[in-house]
Amino acid sequence: MTEEQLFKNRHSLSHIMTMAVLELYPDAGLGVGPVIDNGFYQDYDLPESISDELLPKIQKRMREIIKQGIEFKKYEMDFDKALDQYKDDPYKTELITDLKAAGEASLSFYKSDWFENLCKGPHVDTTKEIDVVSFKLTKIAGAYWRGDEKNKMLTRIYGVAFANKEDLKAHLKMLEEAKRRDHRKLGKDLDLFLFSEKVGPGLPLWTPKGTALRNVLDDFVWKLRKQRGYEKVEIPHVTKKDLYETSGHWEKFKDDLFRFKTREGHEFAMKPMNCPHHTQIFDRHPHSYRDMPQRYANSTMVYRDEQTGELHGLSRVRCITQDDAHAFVRHSQVSEEMLKIWEIIEIFYKAVGFEDLKVELSFHDPNESEKYLGGPEVWETAENALREIVKSKGVEAEEKPGEAAFYGPKIDFIAKDAIGRTWQVATIQMDMNMPERFDLNCIDENGEKERVVMIHAAIMGSIERFLSIIIEHHAGAFPLWMSPVQVRIASVGESHTDATLKLVNELSMQGIRAEADVSDATVGAKIRNAAKSKTPYTIIFGDKEKEGEDFQIRVFGSEEGVVVAQGDLVKHIQEKVLEQQG
Amino acid sequence: MTEEQLFKNRHSLSHIMTMAVLELYPDAGLGVGPVIDNGFYQDYDLPESISDELLPKIQKRMREIIKQGIEFKKYEMDFDKALDQYKDDPYKTELITDLKAAGEASLSFYKSDWFENLCKGPHVDTTKEIDVVSFKLTKIAGAYWRGDEKNKMLTRIYGVAFANKEDLKAHLKMLEEAKRRDHRKLGKDLDLFLFSEKVGPGLPLWTPKGTALRNVLDDFVWKLRKQRGYEKVEIPHVTKKDLYETSGHWEKFKDDLFRFKTREGHEFAMKPMNCPHHTQIFDRHPHSYRDMPQRYANSTMVYRDEQTGELHGLSRVRCITQDDAHAFVRHSQVSEEMLKIWEIIEIFYKAVGFEDLKVELSFHDPNESEKYLGGPEVWETAENALREIVKSKGVEAEEKPGEAAFYGPKIDFIAKDAIGRTWQVATIQMDMNMPERFDLNCIDENGEKERVVMIHAAIMGSIERFLSIIIEHHAGAFPLWMSPVQVRIASVGESHTDATLKLVNELSMQGIRAEADVSDATVGAKIRNAAKSKTPYTIIFGDKEKEGEDFQIRVFGSEEGVVVAQGDLVKHIQEKVLEQQG
């Protein structure tokens, strides 16, 4: 089925749903009813609140209507006639008035059987085009008329629809699976992070295990960066607004910043990005061409004044940890430096379980040049440089105009997770504008100033968002190298407690993330608890282990265990970690 | 000489200075003129601005006056008479009016020869008590009348004074030495940190070398903590004000916080402390007595809305990195946990070059109980516990009432630096109030809730302030283990460049902080530059080194070098580091 046909099906299903609803509530007011990802919705002004239990009834009636083979017919109406016809309907009146003000020539309506609705279309010609078992009504939610909380709260009914029953089933299974993997639930079950009423929404706090997970990932990125000449820097989390006036962030993003006045009346902001701070470190003294590139890495938090309704677990937060890095390079070094970052991305994403990343070129939109810093030549140069780099890697990359950062074009990397969802993950950005605005130079071979280029290169991007992806991708069962606890040692009885604790301590001092289970529980319960915690390795420590016999490692998710001599455990884990890290 | 006599000398020198100034400017108005650490000052309202060049002249005249053996005589005056007598002197009129309003019974004046001044005293009986070569006028500065920038700017003259010439000389030498070691100058010379006009005052940015220094120290503290069961946690840098309303910070420190409203109108603050956030992590689920203590470590920034005039290099900043930690313990565990922290402090401060720390007990002031959280029993219990701990260490500790944190008493550790200045460094705080306010418990052996105790345990405290101390203590010549660059490899000629860079890269990959000097400079200049950078080890890399001969290490600050086989260099440095870390 074509995308166009699927769009029509979904759109028409929305009208058919409304027919079923109007049979139940003839006086229901109609809000908007668009096609969305995987389906559709429609907002209703109903005389009473309804629950999910009503959905099967509506769905059943929809199938009956579809089977009637109803035709959809389009017709036009002029504004005055429409306003008169719908003068008792405040929703239609508002929509028609707005369309008129927007300068539309006329209005289009769709008629299906007895139901007529203001609608741009397109729709199916006949409901015969729709498979009656290709859709499902999924949920009811509240939604303000036109998204404004000052308006009336309407009842929104959501549905999903696909080409056929199989596609629908696959989607519903994916949703089920996504629910099971929900990082908010797993975060609590695995004791990784929490939210506190007193601290506020969008502000996750990290437990010892969650912090270990963050740091393992961040340390691995750092290891890959260090090998490629990066150095760590550190910056304050606030600044006078002057920094962002120079960078252009103030003008573009002022409303998204946490801003405040100091007691002396100076205007400050919490940093929403780290690049402007890093320019100040680069610019602390002149750099000879011999000292280029300068590469700064800095995992640090940035802040966004997100609306509460937009927040979601770790995916969208107010306090974002970025594994940020900026390379200040000569023009002649752009390609080599970008390829180094690309290498890091390949190694890192393979290690975390994403083998094949799709590549996109996010370019500026020449029709909206006012959204970007710098002139057309600067953008052409930068975008051509990115095209060349992608070409040299022999990779297919879709070009996406309008997706660039406001200061430069990007190479974006897209990962597909275990249940088929895609996520934009790493990004490499080429920036010729910040160096211009901050007047950043190096001294070339002839003693002349040369304008440098900045490369922005976060690998995980937001560590919080990245963790939401990776927790769900692995359903919380992390590979050995990244698991917050790598090995759990469970004592058999009281007489093994001390030796168990001693072993955990020794492992820990040798850099292995180990934890003890010396509770009163039975060995069976301890094994079940270890599996529940999804710890990669579990060792039961009893008399034989106390006597020095080989460890029998239970490996999570595998029927087969591993046997290692006691003295080889650390080495075994270290080697496995290096192997998994590639 | 007694402290009291020295106070009198300093106070009387201030009056004598004024006599000399009034001879030059008979109509000078007089602001305040108190005794301060090491000396005195006096504020003057002068008809013209004066420069430091005038100080020797005033000082000479002061000596002549002292030699006259002038007597200081005290007399009383009632308020009305004083107000009448000084009706043309706006400064005196304001001071007298304030003293009257404050309910003082009468006013005391001191007369020395022709000079009479409103003054509480005490003073010398005769200037014969003062050694004419025991003081020095040091500088002139501007100062607002009563410290208020809305008032007139007066001229402040500072002097230092001691018992005798020797003490004065020692102090002046110390000042000279302190100037040479000034961390603000060394920070720039050694390329450790910077300030940016655009970012703002009090907000240091850290270069790669400065960041390395911070991280080496922080990692060492972490190593010591990890050995003692601490776990890392991570927290957002902002919070709803609710958290601080519960903790009590809002009421006590509201004006010192960076506060702001989100776009939705919620009141937020940047965190000034980490303990309230850590309570939320502890309180995420119930803890069995078996799981106690819980120990959280977290090096993170806190923020204070300091006034610009109060800022000073790294000593006083707006964005403070704390190597913070909190242990949540049972009452029965307080002593053992505190002693563990004490152990960390001993090892750490010995390694950074402070052998003998003085210990003080900072207790609450029972006369100002409104300044503290919690009742007298809580404070008595906590303070007695600290007394016991200090006793068990066999250490002499001065008790300082009024120096406690608002939530609990502290054990403070005081270091004396290379030029004799003392600094309060580490602190261990016992807190029974936060657990009360946040209702923090564990479940005891009988299944009952038991109130826990919080121990606050920063080792460096503010890393910025600690670095200002340590940079000046070592005058920038750091021991091998903590130096941002441990070894510098300088190539002899162009034919050694590649091998030098390769060696630096190899060392770096093995965790040694190495840098290359492959510039065009002569070997002599490279040796001088290495010394200037105060790098502990320097190796000149020439033909012999290329052929694999032993490295001749030049050791900073030592005449004798060290010879190591090329293959042993890493091991040699690693062993030296461990030796220095104790």
- pLDDT score, position B217: 98
Q: Name residues whose C-beta falls within 8 Å of residue B449's C-beta, 6 or more positions apart in sequence.
A: B441, B442, B443
> Left, alpha or beta for B550 (phi > 0: left; psi -120 to 50: alpha)?
beta
State pLDDT tens for residues B273-330: 999 999 999 999 999 999 999 999 999 999 999 999 899 999 999 999 999 999 999 9
CA–CA gap between residue A535 and residue A488 (Å, rounded) = 7
Catalytic residue among A43, A45, A323, A324: A324
Cβ-nearest to A280 among B196, B232, B243? B196
In this structure, are A223 and A267 located in the same domain? Answer: yes
CA–CA gap between residue B572 and residue B562 (Å, rounded) = 10
Strands B72-77 and B193-194, by their bridges, are unpaired
Q: Is B468 helix (H, G, I), strand (E, B) or coil?
A: helix
Q: Output the DSSP codes for A309-370.
A: GG-BTTTB-SEEEEEEEEEEE-GGGHHHHHHHHHHHHHHHHHHTT----EEEEEE--GGGGG
**Neighboring chain A residues of B208 at a CB cutoff of 8 Å:** 231-233, 296
Q: Residue B244's closest CA among B457, B434, B456, B442?
A: B434
Domain boundary among A106, A133, A167: A167
Q: With 90 as the cut, is the pLDDT of residue B375 above it?
A: no
Cβ-nearest to B198 among A204, A280, A318? A280
- pLDDT score, position B411: 95
Structure tokens at B521: 């400079």
What is the domain-level CATH number for residue B245?
3.30.930.10
User: Catalytic residues of B, which ones?
Assistant: 275, 304, 322, 324, 326, 410, 456
Q: DSSP assignment, residue B549?
A: P
Do A198 and B234 lie within an 8 Å CB cutoff? no
**Neighboring chain A residues of B263 at a CB cutoff of 8 Å:** 255, 305, 307
CA angle B2, B6, B10 (to 5 degrees): 170
Q: Name residues whose C-beta falls within 8 Å of residue B338's C-beta, 6 or more positions apart in sequence.
A: B386, B389, B411, B428, B430, B455
Strands A153-161 and A39-45, by their bridges, are antiparallel
Looking at the DSSP assignment, which residues form a beta bridge with residue A141? A156
In this structure, are A426 and A498 located in the same domain? Answer: no
CA–CA gap between residue B194 and residue B209 (Å, rounded) = 11
Domain boundary among A423, A453, A474: A474
Residue A181 lies in a domain: no
CA–CA gap between residue A520 and residue A497 (Å, rounded) = 10
Beta carbons of B339 and B393 less than 8 angstroms apart: yes
Do A281 and B239 lie within an 8 Å CB cutoff? no
Length in residues, chain B? 582
Best B257, B258, B320 member to test A by mutation, with max A CBs in 10 Å, is B258
Cβ-nearest to A264 among B233, B240, B308? B308
- Tens of pLDDT along chain A (582 residues) come to 899 999 999 999 999 999 999 999 999 999 999 999 999 999 999 999 999 999 999 999 999 999 999 999 999 999 999 999 999 999 999 999 999 998 888 899 999 999 999 999 899 999 999 999 999 999 999 999 998 888 999 999 999 999 999 999 999 999 999 999 999 999 999 999 999 999 999 999 999 999 999 999 999 999 999 999 999 999 999 999 999 999 999 988 888 999 999 999 999 999 999 999 999 999 999 999 999 999 999 999 999 999 988 899 999 999 999 999 999 999 999 999 999 999 999 999 999 999 889 999 999 998 888 888 888 888 898 899 999 999 999 999 999 999 998 888 999 999 999 998 999 999 999 999 999 999 999 999 999 999 999 999 999 999 999 999 999 999 999 999 999 999 999 999 999 999 999 999 999 999 999 999 999 999 999 999 999 999 999 999 999 999 999 999 999 999 899 999 999 999 999 999 999 999
Element (H, E) at B44: strand B39-45
Residue A180 lies in a domain: no
CA–CA gap between residue B492 and residue B520 (Å, rounded) = 9
User: Which amino acid is located at B48 in the chain?
Assistant: E
Residue A281 lies in a domain: yes
Looking at the DSSP assignment, which residues form a beta bridge with residue B436? none
Q: How far is B317 from chain A, CA to nearest CA, in Å?
A: 10
- pLDDT score, position A370: 84
Q: Is A574 on the interface with B (CB under 8 A)?
A: no
What domain count does chain B have? 3
- pLDDT score, position B371: 83
Q: With 90 as the cut, is the pLDDT of residue B252 above it?
A: no
Which ranges constitute the DSSP H helices of B190-258? 208-226, 242-247, 249-253
In this structure, are A361 and A408 located in the same domain? Answer: yes
Do B233 and A207 lie within an 8 Å CB cutoff? yes
**Neighboring chain A residues of B215 at a CB cutoff of 8 Å:** 232
Q: Is B240 on the interface with A (CB under 8 A)?
A: yes
In this structure, are A492 and A456 located in the same domain? Answer: no
Nearest chain B residue to A263 by CA distance is: B305
Q: Is B285 on the interface with A (CB under 8 A)?
A: yes
Cis peptide leading into A293, omega within 30 of 0?
A: yes
Do A263 and B255 lie within an 8 Å CB cutoff? yes
In this structure, are B235 and B128 located in the same domain? Answer: no
CA–CA gap between residue B92 and residue A299 (Å, rounded) = 57
State pLDDT tens for residues B47-60: 999 999 999 999 99
Q: Is A568 a catalytic residue?
A: no
What is the domain-level CATH number for residue B510?
3.40.50.800
Nearest chain A residue to B438 by CA distance is: A198
Angle between helices B334-351 and B569-581 (to 10 degrees): 130
SS (H, E, C) A360-379: EEEECCHHHHHHCCCCHHHH
In this structure, are A321 and A459 located in the same domain? Answer: yes
Beta carbons of A54 and A21 less than 8 angstroms apart: no
Work out the average pLDDT over B342-347. 97
pTM value is 0.88
Q: Is A534 a catalytic residue?
A: no
In this structure, are A495 and A464 located in the same domain? Answer: no
Residue A429 lies in a domain: yes
Q: Is B509 helix (H, G, I), strand (E, B) or coil?
A: helix
CA–CA gap between residue A581 and residue A384 (Å, rounded) = 33
- pLDDT score, position A88: 92
Work out the average pLDDT over B560-567. 95
Do A238 and B285 lie within an 8 Å CB cutoff? no
Q: Output the DSSP codes for B325-375.
A: EEEEE-GGGHHHHHHHHHHHHHHHHHHTT----EEEEEE--GGGGGGSSS-
| Interchain CB contacts (distance < 8 Å): A and B | 177
Q: With 90 as the cut, is the pLDDT of residue B374 above it?
A: no
Do A237 and B270 lie within an 8 Å CB cutoff? yes
Beta carbons of A68 and A126 less than 8 angstroms apart: no
In this structure, are A470 and A491 located in the same domain? Answer: no
Q: Is A260 on the interface with B (CB under 8 A)?
A: yes
Beta carbons of A289 and A452 less than 8 angstroms apart: no
**Neighboring chain B residues of A235 at a CB cutoff of 8 Å:** 205-206
Q: Is A580 on the interface with B (CB under 8 A)?
A: no
Q: With 90 as the cut, is the pLDDT of residue B436 above it?
A: yes
Do A290 and B519 lie within an 8 Å CB cutoff? yes
B 487-516 residues with CB < 8 A to A: 508-509
Q: Residue B19's closest CA among B87, B89, B51, B66?
A: B66
Q: Name residues whose C-beta falls within 8 Å of residue B69's C-beta, 6 or more positions apart in sequence.
A: B126, B127, B128
- pLDDT score, position B384: 92
In this structure, are A199 and A333 located in the same domain? Answer: yes
Confidence of residue B148 (pLDDT cuts 50, 70, 90): confident
Q: Is A437 a catalytic residue?
A: no
CA–CA gap between residue A233 and residue A284 (Å, rounded) = 13
Q: Is A189 on the interface with B (CB under 8 A)?
A: no
Length in residues, chain A? 582
Best B207, B215, B225, B261 member to test A by mutation, with max A CBs in 10 Å, is B207
Do A239 and B205 lie within an 8 Å CB cutoff? no
Determine the structural domain holding residue A404 and report its residue range. 189-474
- pLDDT score, position A355: 86
Q: Is B270 on the interface with A (CB under 8 A)?
A: yes
Residue A293 lies in a domain: yes
In this structure, are B55 and B122 located in the same domain? Answer: yes
In this structure, are A93 and A227 located in the same domain? Answer: no
Element (H, E) at B505: helix B497-509
Residue A178 lies in a domain: no
Q: Residue B477's closest CA among B414, B415, B538, B564?
A: B538
- Phi then psi for residue B236, to 5 deg, are -70, 155
Residue A183 lies in a domain: no
Beta carbons of A27 and A109 less than 8 angstroms apart: no
- pLDDT score, position B102: 87
CA–CA gap between residue A478 and residue A474 (Å, rounded) = 6
Q: Is A275 a catalytic residue?
A: yes
Do B242 and A200 lie within an 8 Å CB cutoff? yes
Residue B172 lies in a domain: no
For A441-469, b where at least 16 C-beta lie within 10 A, e where not — what string?
bbbeeeeeebebbbbbbbbbbbbbbbbbb
CA angle A318, A322, A325 (to 5 degrees): 150
Domain boundary among A441, A474, A507: A474
Work out the average pLDDT over B485-490. 97
Radius of gyration of the CA atoms of chain A, in A: 29
Distances in Å between the alpha carbon of B298 and those of A69, A563, B343, B501? 66, 37, 19, 36
Q: With 90 as the cut, is the pLDDT of residue B82 above it?
A: yes
Cβ-nearest to A205 among B205, B266, B281? B281
In this structure, are A468 and A516 located in the same domain? Answer: no
What's the whole-number average pLDDT of chain B?
95
Q: Is A324 a catalytic residue?
A: yes
Looking at the DSSP assignment, which residues form a beta bridge with residue B268? B240, B260
State pLDDT tens for residues B389-422: 999 999 999 999 999 988 889 999 999 999 989 9
- pLDDT score, position B245: 95
What is the domain-level CATH number for residue A151?
3.30.980.10
Q: Is A226 a catalytic residue?
A: no
CA–CA gap between residue B64 and residue B69 (Å, rounded) = 9
